[in-house]
A and B are shown apart, each in its own frame.
Chain A
Amino acid sequence: MKVYIFKRLATIIPMSLLVVSVTWGLIRIAPGNFYLSEKKLPAAIKENIKKKYGLESSLVEQYLMMLGNMTCRFSDSDDSEGAGLKIAIRSRTLRCFDFGYSLKYEGQSVNEILSRHLPYSAVIGLLAFLIALVGGVSLGAVAATRKDSRVARYLMSLSMIGISVPTFVLAPVLVLAFSFGLYWLPPARWGGMEHLVLPVLSLSAVYLAYIARLTRTGLIEVLKSDYVRTARATGLSEARVVVGHALKAGILPVVSFSGPAIAGLLAGSVVSERIFAIPGLGNIFVQSVLNRDEPLTLGIVAFVSILILVCNLVVDVVYALIDPRIRFGER
């Protein structure tokens, strides 16, 4: 198991570098560049800009430099410039995860921007995931244990609507109802707990509905199995059979869905952030691509892909912990 986790951790580095490389390639292939503007730049200024950002060296050199900054490189002088991790080794410094400086937000390093805007997205994304997981599993379990009841039918129809209505339709409708109609909750911005309710609810709805469906299907299958019948035969109450025995196997599909769900929540938070005017990472990302702010785009892509890869690893480990049939090493 330890070996397996170590192997997977080792693959995360080349894979996120692959994602970064693809993004870098796309940015470089695309017509136009960040210093292209309506006003024509004097040639001298253009040269200076190119020199400052290392754009006059060859494409291969630029690519390698970008990769070096993203991962680790030695710098001879102990210059205070640059962000990221700094490890002093004798007279040289090892600099890691230095994503460089934003081209649009003057004087701000990508690392600063990341650490400033990440907490908002993280709070919303994590809360939404927790609500989707807890709510989805419990609703799905209810629907599975009473699978022919009216409640179950309503729940399933509701979940079908849930997976079909996009966040950016649900969110404004919730705002309309709870902010402009009932005056219960604030319609936008960041503040206390009450500001979190609507963004988190609208973001989690789709995933909650999907998890509920997965749980129901998985649980119905498990409830028919022999070991559940044995558990019932020992005289356990139905609730204990479901929660204590069946659910563990029944939520396996939910566990494997969690990886993509976390990725989707991270991307989907863009919508929530836009509608609720929250200064999160998603909005910054979209703006950075439109601004052709290459270091910022690459920094966010690198960060998010590492995050998603780690989440996928955690998901796989949890899957193996729940399902004893899975053994690592024989993939």
Chain B
Amino acid sequence: MSSKTNTNGTEASGLTPRYGIWSRFKRNRPAVFGSWILAIVIVLSAIGPAVFGWLTGISSDYIPSSVENGALVRSFPPSLTHPMGTDDLGRDLFLRVFEGGRISILVGIFASVISLLIGVAYGATAGFFGGRIDGVMMRIVDMLFAIPYLLIVVVMMSLFGGNNAPDAVKQVTEAFVFLTNALMSLAGASPISTSSGLFQIFFLFVALGSVSWLTMARIVRGQVLSLKNEEFILAARSIGVSTFGIVFRHLIPNISGPVIVYATLTIPSVMLAEAFLSFLGLGVQAPYSSWGSLAADGIKNIAVYPWQLVFPGLVMGMTLVALNLIGDGLRDAFDPKSSKS
């Protein structure tokens, strides 16, 4: 890990730093490829199910069935009407995969945002105050690093999943449902209701976010340590800017580069963790689906209906590859020296 990252990355051409980053990112072909893949997956997840339903008249609870050799068949292989086939109950997998994609992507983003907030606040505090506070805070991080966090997440999810979620999580969920329904009624769509499945998803954000902030805290602390004695901070201090102002107006904007890069790389790892939990039956639960829970369902029928695993797995794998490529591209763009060979 490079301790000193040149976030400005200024080039001699006199272009703005932001332009330099953007142009370097654009020249990175894998990263651009990843961005396109991600954009396609996001668009398909956002409007794919609605457009698909409008084109074919198939909704996610549409159940086709046919009788073959006297047996009822509901799982159909991929065809023109069902591009990814259907699941055990005859539900269209294309719809399920991209409806699940919404939740997978949202879990990735929200949990990463939570880890970002905790990590930045913690790391900035430790780095800015330094001395004994820094020592104690970073020793705590060292200790937490040694904890097998997946074990803790498994314990958290199985004990506080669904209706067992802490009250604060339930209140946030209810507020979210209230806001969504307000928007839904404007659009004329049917309202959603709070359920244990929704509590579970919101607790998932908290559980995954609360265990994945450690590296972020270390990165932010290192950056703050190297920046806080720079002259512009001294200047701000000399004209009487408050501590709060220095941290939030001057330090944090200047460390945004590494923070953005690491946050981008947190998303795929959180999505993997979500899929792991959903596979164990501790993550997203019916009636909601995510790529992890769809793949877990598909594994049961792997020998007979392989498409039920292959398509969720493929879309998930592609999205994760795309996110990793974008993260690597951003890292190279923000810090040209880091891994250019």
> Using a CB–CB distance below 8 Å, which chain A residues touch chain B?
15, 18-19, 22-23, 26-27, 29-32, 147, 160-161, 163-166, 168-169, 172-173, 175-176, 180, 217, 220, 263-264, 266-268, 270-271, 274-275, 285-286, 289-290, 297, 301, 304-305, 308-309, 312
Contacts and interface: CB of A to CB of B under 8 A. Distances in A.
Contact of A267 (B148, B298, B313): B148
B154 A169 contact: no
Given A168-B299, A169-B316, A304-B148, A271 B310 contact: no
B158 interface: yes
A172 B302 CA distance: 7
Nearest to B275: A166
Contacts of B303: 176, 180
A31 B155 contact: no
Interface residues of B, number: 41
Contacts of B272: 166
27 contacts: A18-B147, A19-B147, A22-B152, A26-B156, A32-B164, A160-B321, A160-B324, A163-B324, A168-B275, A168-B276, A168-B279, A168-B295, A168-B299, A169-B295, A169-B316, A173-B310, A173-B313, A263-B148, A264-B150, A267-B151, A267-B154, A268-B276, A271-B276, A274-B279, A289-B155, A290-B158, A304-B148
A31 B164 contact: yes
A164 B280 contact: no
A164 B146 contact: no
Contacts of A305: 146-148, 151
Nearest to B282: A286
A15 B143 contact: yes
B309 interface: yes
Contacts of A164: 268, 317, 320-321, 324
B69 to A, nearest CB: 22
B306 A176 contact: yes
A217 B331 CA distance: 14
Give the one of B146, B147, B276, B313 with max A CB within 10 A: B146
Contacts of B148: 19, 263, 266-267, 301, 304-305, 308
A165 B151 CA distance: 21
Nearest to B339: A217
Contacts of B268: 164
B264 to A, nearest CB: 14
B109 interface: no
B202 to A, nearest CB: 17
Instruction: Report, nearest first, the 4 A-B pairs whose CB atoms are least far apart.
Output: A169-B313, A30-B159, A164-B320, A267-B150
B125 to A, nearest CB: 22
B325 interface: yes
A285 B152 contact: no
A26 B159 contact: yes
A31 B154 CA distance: 16
B299 A309 contact: no
B52 interface: no
B299 A275 contact: yes
A178 to B, nearest CB: 13
B151 to A, nearest CB: 6
A289 B159 CA distance: 8
B312 to A, nearest CB: 8
Tell me the interface secondary structure of chain A in the complex. Answer: helix
Given A31-B164, A164-B268, A173 B320 contact: no
A269 B196 CA distance: 29
Contacts of B143: 15, 18
Contacts of A166: 272, 275-276, 279, 292, 295, 313, 316-317
B164 A27 contact: no
B339 A297 contact: no
A289 B154 contact: yes
Nearest to A260: B145
B280 A286 contact: yes
B13 interface: no
B147 A285 contact: no
B152 to A, nearest CB: 7
Nearest to A19: B147
B178 interface: no
B296 interface: yes
B229 interface: no
B110 interface: no
A180 B304 CA distance: 10
A27 B296 contact: no
B160 A176 contact: no
Contacts of A173: 309-310, 313
B190 interface: no
Q: Interface centre among B280, B292, B298, by most A CB within 10 Å? A: B280
A209 B320 CA distance: 14
Contacts of A27: 155, 159
A285 B280 CA distance: 11
Nearest to A264: B150
Contacts of B164: 30-32
Interface string B133-175: 0000000000100111011101110111000100000000000
B79 interface: no
Given A30-B160, A308-B146, A23 B155 contact: yes
